[in-house]
Amino acid sequence: MKIYCRVTDLGLVPMYDSDYDEKKRLKIGDTVLCDIKKPRNYEFHKKFFALVRLTYDNLPEHLHEALNIYSEEDMRTCLKMDLGLYSIVRHGFREYINPQSISFAAMDETEFERFYHRCIDIILRLYLRGTDRQDLLDEIERFK
């Protein structure tokens, strides 16, 4: 059972009627295992994709060529690889790079926020050198 709750001074309070109905099935003294995750904020997710678009659109031409970045998806894959978020899959004599998923199911809000800020650091250090951090953040807000 997974339910959405709000943290209050009195403890966790179910947010929706359906969650409350599930909680009512529990008895005082029951031992339960909770799966606590902060649900992803869709607006924050859109900010990440705005960051990827901005980076791709402003990527110096020599980096497009040198890193084979010809789409926003290529840009996302490079960022994941730079952060070590991939695995190598071997099939016979071939090896394939398998980037880690950043889907809503794969990362909660806390993990995604950490990923987002690490992406900004990588972008400023490797892809858009000389760009001011605050200028980039301001542009993301305008862009999304």
Residues 72 and 137 in one domain: yes
For the chain, what is the domain count? 2
Residues 78 and 46 in one domain: yes
Residue pair 88/95 in contact by the 8 Å Cβ criterion: yes
**84: which residues sit within 8 A by CB, 6+ positions away?**
none
Backbone angles phi, psi at 79, to 5 degrees: -65, -45
Residues 57 and 111 in one domain: yes
For 64-122, what is each residue's pLDDT tens digit? 999 999 999 999 999 999 999 998 889 888 988 888 999 888 888 889 999 999 999 99
Measure CA of the first residue to CA of the last residue in the chain; give whole Å.
35
> Is the pTM higher than 0.75?
no
Could you tell me the residue range of the domain that residue 1 belongs to? 1-36
In the chain, the largest separation of any two C-alpha atoms, in whole Å, equals 64
Residues 55 and 2 in one domain: no
48, 49, 54: which is closest to 127 by C-alpha?
54
For 128-140, what is each residue's pLDDT tens digit? 999 999 999 999 9
For 5-31, what is each residue's pLDDT tens digit? 777 887 778 888 888 888 888 788 777
Residues 136 and 69 in one domain: yes
